[in-house]
Structure 1
C-alpha cells in the first residue's frame, strides 16, 4: 500500500546520523581575527577559509608550511609563532574540502603534538566528526573518548551532541539519552536534542517516552529556519508513526502542526488526509489532498494525492467524480512517464552533468532548487529529493571538485608558461650587467680586506700599549718625516760631509772664512778647527730638534692615545659601512642571479606533476560523472516504475468507478 511505503520512508529518513548535521556545522570554528597574525600568507589562507573557499585556503597554507619547513632558521620566520595553529588549520581546511585521509593525518599530528588542551580537544572533536561523517562510528567513539579536560566554550554543546550521536550509532542509546537530556535547553540545539532523544528512547523500547519527547520537539518555539525544519520533521515522524498504529485522531493533530510552506509540507498534507480517512472522515480528507493536488506534480506525495482524491470520492459514493479524477490522474501519470523517459535519455546524453556544472547557479545557496528552472534539463525536476540526499551530495561535490580541479590545473599549466617567460626576460636583463658588477665587487672586496687588515693591526697595537706604553707609535706623520730628516742629517754630520748648515758665510759666492769660492770648489779649504766647531754645532742643533719632537710625543701621549681610540672607532664605523655595502651587494647579486637561475628544473618538475594530475583527473572525472548519471537514472527509473504502478491502479479504479456508477444509476432507476 502506498501509505505504508511512505511511512517506512519517513522512518528511514529519521535516521539519527542525518538528524542534526546542519545544526553543528557553522558554529564550531574558531573565529580568530587575522589582524593578530604576523604572517600575511597565513592570514590570506584564513580569509579564503572564512569565505568557504577551502581549496584556495589549503593550497596557500600548505605552501606556506612547506616553505617554513625548508628555512634555515625557522624561529626567524613570521609563521613560527603560529605554526601549531597552522598545522591544525591545514587539517581543518582539508576536512572542509573533504580531503578525509589528509585531514585525518594532519589533525592527528596536532592531537599528538604539544598544543593547548582546548585546542587539542577541538582537534579531536573535528577528527571524531570526520569519522562519523565517513560512517565509521567505532573510530569516532574512540576519538571522542580521548577528549579530556577543558573544551572550548563555543563547541562544548556541539561536542556533547556529537558524543550522543556517536553513542546511538554504536548501539548505546541509554548513555546517549542521558547526554541529550542535558542538552534539551542548549542554545542552537533547540529541537535537535529533543528529536534525537525521542529516537534514542524508542531504540530502548520506551515508545511512550519517545513519543512524548518527539511531541515536545514538535512544539519548539523558535524562528530559526533549521529549528523550524527539525520541528516539522519531529511532527512528521511522530504523526506517521501514530498513523501506522491506526491512531488517526492523534496523528491528525500532530501532522497539522507542520508548516504549509516547509520542506515537509507535502508529506504532512498527505498524512493529514490519510489520518482523516483512517477515521472514515473522507470529506475532511479531501481538504488537505485538494491543496496538495495543486502543487508540483513531480513530487511523489502530490502524485499519491492524485490517486487519494478519487479514492475519497469513491468512499463517498460519488463515483462519477471519482472516475473523472482517476482519468485526470491517469493522463497526468502518462505525461510524467513520458517526461521521465525523456529525462533518462537526457541524463545518458550528458545534459544533466552540464546543468550541474553551471557556475552561475552554484553561486546561489539555493542552486539545487534553481536547477528546476532550466528548460534544457527536465530531469532536474524529478531529482530534487535525490540531490538532497547525503550520498548524492557527496558524489556531486566530488564531481564538481574534480571539474574545478581540471580547470585549475589548466590555468596552472598556462601560468608555468608565464613563469618561463618571466625567467627569460630576467636572464636577458641581468646577464649583461653582471660582469661589470662583479668587477666592481672585486675592487670593493680588496678595499674591505685592506681596511680590515689595517684596523686589526692598529687595534692589536693599541691594546698592547694599554700595558706597555709606546709613545713613539703615536707620532704624527710630520713628526716621523722630521725624525727621518734629522737622522739623515746626523749621518751626514757623522761622516763630516759638508752641508749647508756647516758654514755660515757661503752666501754671495764666499766661503766660511771670507775667501773666494770658484766653480763650486773651496779655493782654500777651511781649517780643521773651524770644521770641527761647525760639525759640533750642527749635531747639537739636530739633537735639540730631536729632543723637541720626543718631548711633544711624550707629553701629548695620553691625549694622542685617546684620540687614537676615537679614530679607531671611526675606522670601525667605516669598516661596518663597507661591510654593509658588501653584504648588500652580495644579497642583491644573489637575488639577481636567483631571479632567473635554478627555476628550470623546478618548472619542469611542476609541469610533470600538473600533467600527471591532469591525466588522473581526466580519467576520474568521467568515471565520477557516470556514477552521478547512474544514480540519476536509477532514481528516474524508480519513479517511472512507481508511476506505471499508479497507472495500473488508476485504470482498474476507473473501471471500478464506472461499474459502481452504472450500478448506482441502475438501482436508482429500479427504485423509481
Structure 2
C-alpha cells in the first residue's frame, strides 16, 4: 500500500484544517462577520464544494469578504487545489505570499500547499523550495505530512542513502511513519540493498497497531505487505528459512496472503523440501483463479509433484491446469467483448450506490462464474474524497489493479462530469427554444395591444377632454369671482330671469316714451329679486356639483395619461425583445457548440477508458496464455518421457 503517489491526496480535506491552524491564537467565533462567508461555509460543511468555491469567487469579484482575515482565501485555494484547479489554486497562494504583512501561520499554509501543488506536477525542485520556506511553528499534523513528502522527493531523486532508522524521527512523522518506512524499504530493495530494506520493513512490522478500526485494518495490510517484502528480499538473498519465517507472519485472510503462500512454496522448493512446498501451493490452488499467484500455483504444484517423482499426479495437475486456464482465458475474452464503450458509459452514468449497497453487490459470494460486476458509489462523488474511496469499484481481480489507479479514477470522474454536463446542455436546448417562443408570443401580444389602444383614439379623447375641462374651469372661475348666481340656476329660473331682463328693457323704452312705468318697475324688481334669491339658495350646491364634474374630468385625463404612458412603455419594451431574441440565438449556438464539444470529449474519454480496460484484460490474457502454453509443453514432455521409458 504505497503512499508515494497518494500521500498528497490524503489530507485534501484541508480547508477546515487550515482555518484551525491559522487561527489557533484567536478565540473561536460563534458567528460570521460576513454573510457571504457564512453561506460559503454552509456549502462547505454540506460537502457542496463547488457551491462553496463559487460563493467565494463571486464575493472576490465584488468587494471581498470582510471580518475573517485570510481564511476565505485559504479555503478557496485549498478547495481549488483539491478539485484539480491547479492554476487557480496557485494564483491564490501566490497572491497570499506576495503580501509580506500576512501572518506567518498564513504564509506557512500557503507555502505548504504551494509545495504540494508543485509535488503533484512532478516539479521536485520547486516543491522542495516551497517546503523549505515553511517555519518550524507550522501545524504539527501538516508538518508531518510535509516531512513525508520531502522524503518521497529524496527517494525520487535517488538521494536517500543517508536516511537510516537512527536519523528519522518517527514521532515527527506521526501517522505517516509507516508509509515512509515502507517507501524507503522498497527503494532500498529496488537498488538491491536488501539489508537496509529489511531494517525498514522490520521497523514497520513492529509498529504498534492503532485502536481506530479503519486505521487498524490499513496498518495490518501494510504490515502484511512488509512481511511479504521482507520474505522476498530474503528469497533473493537465498536465505530460504528466514524467508519462510517472514511469509508465515502474513495473515491468511489478508490481501497479501496469496503472494506470501507462493513465496513460501518457492522458498521450500529452493531447499528441496517439495513436500513442504505442496502445503501452501495446495492451499493456493483452492483459491480464486483470478489472482496471479493462484495462476502461477497451477504450474508450481505439478512441478513439485514431478520433483517428488509422482508423475501421474503431475500429469493430472497439468491437465487440470489446462482446463482451468482455458476456461479463465475464455472468461477474460468474454469480458473484453462485453466491456464496450457503451457499457462503460452506461455504468459510469448510472445512479451511484451507497457504500453499504455497493458492498453487498460486490461481495465475493455474490459473483456468478467470475462475471464482472462494477458499480459507481456515492462515497467518491467529489475530488476531496479520493484519498480514501473510489468512485468506481469492481469485484473482478483482473480490473482491481486498473480501477485502483488514481489516473483511472480521475478519468472516471472527468467522464462522469462530462456526462452530467451533457445532460445539462441537452436540457438547456429545449428551454432556450421555449424561452424564445415565449418572447415571440409576448411580442405578438404587445403588438395586438398597441393596435387595440390605437383604435380607441386615446390621444383624441385626451385632447377633447382637456378642451372641455379648460372651458368649464374658465366658466367656474368667472362665476365664482363675480358671484353670478344665475349662471348656475336651473333652466326654469334662468328662463324666467331672462323674461324679467327683457321686461326691464321694455320698461326702459316705455319710460323713454313718456309712459308711467312705476308699477311695472316695482313688479319687475320684485320678481327679479325672487328669482335671484332662489338662484342664490341653490348656488353652493350647484357650484360644488360643477367642481365635482371638473374633478371627474381630471380623473379621466389622468387615466388617459396613464394609458398613454403604458402604450409608450409597451412600445419601448417591445424594442428590447429583439436584442434578447438575438442574444438567445447566440446562446443557442453556444449551447449547441458546447454540446457538440462535450459529445466529442465523451467519445474520446470513453474510448481511452475502453482502451485502458482492454489493455489490462489483454495483459491478463497474455499471462494466462503463457501459463497455458507451459502446461501444454509440460504435459507433452511428461508423455514423451513416459513413452521413452516404455520398451520398444
Residue in 2 aligned with 1:96?
82
Residue in 2 aligned with 1:392?
408
Contact 1:319-1:660 at 8 Å conserved across structures: no
The Cα of 1:168 is off from its aligned counterpart by 2.0
5+ unaligned residues in a row in structure 1: which ranges? Answer: 1-12, 433-592
Label 1:174 to 1:634 Cα distance change in 2 as closer, same or farther (>3 A).
Answer: same
Contact 1:274-1:285 at 8 Å conserved across structures: yes
Q: Deviations over 1:282-318 (max 9, x none)?
A: 2222222222222221221211112211121221112
RMSD (Å) for aligned C-alpha atoms: 4.2
Residue in 2 aligned with 1:314?
306
Label 1:206 to 1:404 Cα distance change in 2 as closer, same or farther (>3 A).
Answer: same
Q: Deviations over 1:118-157 (max 9, x none)?
A: 2322232223223323333233223223323531233121
Q: Deviations over 1:625-654 (max 9, x none)?
A: 111111111111111111111111001112
Residue in 2 aligned with 1:285?
277
TM-score by structure 2 length?
Answer: 0.64
Residue in 2 aligned with 1:84?
70
Residue in 2 aligned with 1:655?
636
The Cα of 1:199 is off from its aligned counterpart by 4.1
2-structure distance, mates of 1:654, 1:282 = 20
Paired residue for 1:629, among 601, 610, 621? 610
The Cα of 1:96 is off from its aligned counterpart by 1.8
Q: Tell me if 1:235 matches 2:227.
A: yes
Q: Deviations over 1:388-431 (max 9, x none)?
A: 12332332332233223334555677887999999999999xxx
Aligned ranges for residues 103-502 of structure 1 at < 5 Å?
103-113=89-99, 114-148=101-135, 150-174=137-161, 181-183=168-170, 186-199=173-186, 207-223=194-210, 224-348=216-340, 350-361=342-353, 370=362, 377=372, 381=396, 382-410=398-426
1-structure distance, mates of 2:357, 2:153 = 29
The Cα of 1:31 is off from its aligned counterpart by 7.1
Contact 2:77-2:88 at 8 Å conserved across structures: yes
The Cα of 1:170 is off from its aligned counterpart by 2.5
Query: Which is further off, 323-332 or 264-273?
Result: 264-273
Contact 1:269-1:289 at 8 Å conserved across structures: yes
Paired residue for 1:69, among 24, 41, 61? 61
Contact 2:147-2:173 at 8 Å conserved across structures: no
Q: Deviations over 1:198-237 (max 9, x none)?
A: 3455678754233212122123231422222222222222
Q: Deviations over 1:595-630 (max 9, x none)?
A: x99999998887776555433322211111111111
2-structure distance, mates of 1:149, 1:611 = 54
Paired residue for 2:5, among 14, 18, 38? 18
The Cα of 1:39 is off from its aligned counterpart by 4.2
Residue in 1 aligned with 2:50?
58
Q: Deviations over 1:5-48 (max 9, x none)?
A: xxxxxxxx96x733756765667851759964344554454455
Contact 1:28-1:158 at 8 Å conserved across structures: no
2-structure distance, mates of 1:406, 1:23 = 31
2-structure distance, mates of 1:407, 1:179 = 58
Q: Deviations over 1:160-218 (max 9, x none)?
A: 11121122222321466589711367432242232233345567875423321212212
2-structure distance, mates of 1:169, 1:369 = 39
Contact 1:238-1:254 at 8 Å conserved across structures: yes
User: Does the residue aligned with 2:250 lie in a helix, a strand or coil?
Assistant: coil
The Cα of 1:374 is off from its aligned counterpart by 7.9
Residue in 2 aligned with 1:521?
none
